[in-house]
Chains A and B, each alone.
Chain A
Amino acid sequence: AQTVTQSQPEMSVQEAETVTLSCTYDTSESDYYLFWYKQPPSRQMILVIRQEAYKQQNATENRFSVNFQKAAKSFSLKISDSQLGDAAMYFCAYRSGNQGAQKLVFGQGTRLTINP
């Protein structure tokens, strides 16, 4: 079974600075997808960024980028120019490339605090 580990229960960063959230995963599959979700206090999970395992290029979405190291099974999220609205729980998630296995496997989450 696949597992996802987020080793940082909490992180904090000064507004406008850069922060990196860590995620590692374990799988024997070669085809899969990785995601970072943001969950604010409203509880609604919002997709931040996704990465297809077959792509070597790291995904980027505006201020959010990932460092995908397939051999090391590492998938970190970098938030540049942190804003107060970035404060939330961040979850790393894995999904098999097998179309019959659609479920997301989540890590334990990292609570990100932005200091003004």
Chain B
Amino acid sequence: EAGVVQSPRYKIIEKKQPVAFWCNPISGHNTLYWYLQNLGQGPELLIRYENEEAVDDSQLPKDRFSAERLKGVDSTLKIQPAELGDSAVYLCASSLRLAGANEQFFGPGTRLTVL
């Protein structure tokens, strides 16, 4: 079974340019997460989806960040315009919402460099 797929793995852009990241979760997982991981830090949640509904986006900087999960499967995270401080790794994770620990499975992430 395929794991969480993310693309691209690396992205280098000039500041003020737009950028988009794509995530395909594990088949059947109804919960999808986007995390931001700054260099030398642990990941922090940006947004969580239950199916196609964003149920926790309190940490998403909505002035420049947006996300969608239109059919409740794959998801796109967009930044427009990018700033130097957005350089980081963007991780996607998915889980099957059940009672209990609900293990989150992570993708390999996209490393964004803003010049």
Contact = CB atoms under 8 A, between A and B. Distances in A.
A106 B42 CA distance: 5
Nearest to B41: A108
26 contacts: A4-B42, A37-B106, A42-B108, A43-B108, A43-B111, A44-B107, A44-B109, A45-B43, A45-B91, A46-B106, A47-B105, A52-B100, A52-B101, A93-B42, A95-B101, A99-B99, A102-B33, A102-B56, A102-B95, A102-B102, A103-B56, A104-B35, A104-B45, A106-B42, A108-B42, A109-B40
Q: How large is the interface on A (under 10, 10 to 19, 20 to 34, 35 or more residues)?
A: 20 to 34
A91 interface: yes
B31 interface: yes
Interface of B: 31, 33, 35, 40-45, 48, 55-56, 89, 91, 93, 95, 97, 99-109, 111
Nearest to B56: A103
A106 B106 contact: no
Contacts of A44: 106-109
Nearest to B50: A102
Interface in A1-54: 4, 33, 37, 42-47, 50, 52
Given A45-B91, A47-B103, A99-B99, A106 B109 contact: no
B106 to A, nearest CB: 4
